[in-house]
């Protein structure tokens, strides 16, 4: 349990350093480079070696890392774990400053992903993302990551005295009800470009040099271990940085075998994945093909490699809720800290089938890791993940797995300490086959 707690605290640190998908990717890069992974640029010609460690980045928000196997790639294929770097939040719109009664300043935002909106109220919030800065070459603006770090914003609730039915359920309008409060307005206050001035000061540039930005809100509250025996992880962004973290350390710690180990961390899963850095893009497919070609193989060998490959699509799963026990399937009810979950759906919203599920369960059985199943209630429409989207680009057998959590898509989610350690061990074992 102590080793599991240590690993869970490492996850909390990882998430705290990852306030946006750009920062999560930067954190991945930091850990990979400390472990002797070498960056490959997509515009360069690649030269790869057996057992070499490499990574490449797309859009500063998605990443593929890999370790070349000892065997021939066409014979032993790729062992892939896929996850995503983004989480539900609010994105700041252009020209965001809004004044209210000449006294308050708030920001104009839009919802990113399927957030539980009411969990964002009355929380200390900050801003993180990236900024595009002017250069001499209009085709190559400079990119700067920004994290204000300090509590800067809050979305205040309406008092119950003015909203008597608030505890009976109130519809939240994301254009009017969730705009965060930033500041008071004084006599010498200048509203214009107020946010840009904060950004410019943060990254040390002139306001006039900032061309555009991709900025998101995040909770400044740090995650923690809770429960009588500290058996729970209470933390923002468990969906899906927990799977990113588990896959990362599985890749780093796993001993490479004959196959090539791959970790693919996509962006924009929460909004459909149909971006150049999303799972519906050719990013992973292109990287895999370039690996084969850089090893001196040809297109035929690439297709042979795919035929000998396997993918684990890793995204969080729904645990049985102690207050809403009727919301789960009648006979499949995942419990926190009872092990990773294989996710199954008749409508193919998950890629798992009897063969691919057997592969993952066999890996877990070998490591004495408990395994659970998740299926939606037949009268409730469930979600999906990167697995089915990735298989539209790559015809590789795939299983959808994840750890059971409560409060999925809340600003703060709840998972299990042992589950996170279990899934890391399963990923490491997968890579070592």
The H or E element spanning position 39 is strand 38-39
Q: Pull the structure tokens for residue 196.
A: 């840009």
Confidence of residue 187 (pLDDT cuts 50, 70, 90): low
| CA–CA dist 390, 269 (Å, integer) | 11
Instruction: Tell me what the pLDDT averaged over the chain comes to.
Output: 96
Band the pLDDT of 409: cuts 50, 70, 90: very high
CB 400 within 8 A of CB 383: no
**Would you state the pLDDT for residue 189?**
65
Residue 1 pLDDT greater than 80, yes or no: yes
- Mean pLDDT across the stretch 92-117? 95
Q: Tell me what percent of the residues of the chain surpass a pLDDT of 70.
A: 99
pLDDT at 74: 98
pLDDT of res. 188 = 65
Q: Alpha-carbon torsion 10, 12, 16, 22, what sign? A: positive
For helices 417-432 and 354-366, angle between their N-to-C axes, nearest 10 degrees: 100
Q: Give the pLDDT of residue 193.
A: 83
Q: What confidence category does residue 416 fall into, taking pLDDT thresholds of 50, 70 and 90?
A: very high
- Residues 120-160 have pLDDT tens digits of 999 999 999 999 999 999 999 999 999 999 999 999 999 99
Query: pTM for the complete prediction?
Result: 0.96
Q: Which two tokens stand for residue 340?
A: 């990773």
Q: Does residue 348 have a pLDDT over 70? A: yes
pLDDT band at 305 (very low <50, low <70, confident <90, very high): very high
- Give the residue from 203, 263, 330 showing the smallest Cα distance to 29: 263
For residue 267, what pLDDT is reported?
97
Give every CB contact of residue 228 below 8 A, 6+ residues apart in sequence.
none
Q: How far is CA 82 from the centre of its chain?
A: 10
pLDDT of residue 111: 98
Please state the separation of Cα 209 from the chain's center in Å: 30
Average pLDDT over residues 346-372: 97
- Measured CA to CA, the distance from residue 265 to residue 280 in angstroms comes to 12
Give the pLDDT score at 33.
98
Q: What is the pLDDT of residue 226?
A: 98
- With beta carbons less than 8 A apart as the criterion, state whether 426 and 360 touch: yes
Per-residue pLDDT, 381: 83
Poorest-pLDDT segment among 80-84, 149-153, 232-236, 389-393: 389-393
Q: What is the dihedral of CA 115, 121, 123, 129, to 10 degrees?
A: 40
Task: Give the mean pLDDT of 5-19.
Answer: 98
Q: Which residue has the higher pLDDT, 124 or 386?
A: 124
Name the token pair of 132. 């595009």
Q: What is the pLDDT of residues 225-274, one digit of tens each?
A: 999 999 999 999 999 999 999 999 999 999 999 999 999 999 999 999 99
Mean pLDDT in residue range 87-104: 95
- The whole-number pLDDT of residue 167 equals 93
CA dist 226 to 17, 96, 277, 285, Å?
20, 37, 35, 41
Whole-number pLDDT of residue 192:
75
Q: What is the mean pLDDT of residues 373-393?
A: 88
pLDDT value for 382 = 81
CA distance 67 to 55: 9
């Amino acid at each position: 349990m102590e080793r599991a707690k240590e690993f869970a605290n490492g996850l909390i640190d990882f998430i705290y350093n990852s306030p946006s998908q750009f920062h999560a990717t930067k954190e991945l890069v930091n850990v990979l480079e400390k472990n002797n992974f070498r960056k490959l640029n997509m515009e360069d010609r690649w030269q790869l070696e057996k057992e070499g460690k490499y990574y490449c980045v797309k859009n500063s928000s998605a990443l593929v890392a890999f370790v070349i196997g000892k065997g021939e790639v066409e014979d032993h294929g790729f062992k892939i774990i896929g996850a995503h770097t983004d989480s539900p939040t609010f994105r700041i719109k252009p020209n965001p400053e809004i004044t209210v009664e000449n006294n308050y300043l708030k920001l104009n935002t839009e919802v990113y992903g399927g957030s539980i909106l009411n969990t964002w109220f009355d929380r200390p919030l900050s801003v993180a993302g990236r900024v595009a800065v002017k250069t001499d070459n209009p085709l190559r603006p400079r990119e700067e990551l920004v994290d204000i770090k300090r509590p800067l914003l809050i979305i205040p609730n309406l008092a119950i005295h003015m909203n008597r039915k608030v505890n009976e359920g109130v519809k939240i309008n994301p254009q009017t009800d969730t705009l965060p409060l930033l500041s008071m307005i004084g006599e010498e206050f200048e509203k214009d470009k107020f946010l840009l001035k904060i950004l410019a000061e943060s990254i040390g540039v002139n306001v006039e040099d900032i061309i555009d930005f991709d900025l998101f809100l995040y909770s400044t509250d740090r995650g923690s271990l809770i429960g009588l025996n500290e058996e729970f992880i209470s933390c923002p962004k468990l969906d899906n940085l927990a799977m990113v973290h588990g896959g990362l350390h599985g890749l780093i710690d796993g001993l490479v075998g004959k196959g090539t180990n791959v970790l693919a961390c996509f962006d924009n899963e929460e909004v459909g994945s149909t971006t150049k850095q999303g799972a519906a893009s050719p990013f992973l497919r292109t990287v895999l093909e370039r690996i084969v070609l850089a090893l001196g193989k040809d297109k035929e060998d690439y297709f042979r490699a795919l035929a000998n490959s396997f993918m684990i699509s890793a995204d969080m799963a729904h645990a049985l809720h102690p207050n809403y026990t009727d919301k789960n399937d009648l006979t499949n009810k995942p419990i926190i800290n009872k092990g990773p979950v294989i996710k199954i759906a008749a409508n193919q919203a998950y890629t798992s089938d009897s063969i691919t599920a057997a592969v993952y369960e066999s890996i877990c059985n070998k490591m004495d890791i408990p395994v659970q199943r998740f299926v939606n209630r037949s009268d409730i429409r469930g979600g999906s993940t990167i697995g089915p989207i990735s298989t539209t680009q790559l015809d590789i057998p795939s299983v959808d797995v994840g750890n059971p959590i409560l409060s999925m898509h809340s600003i703060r989610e709840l998972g299990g300490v042992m589950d996170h350690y279990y899934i890391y061990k399963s990923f490491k074992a997968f890579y070592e086959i």
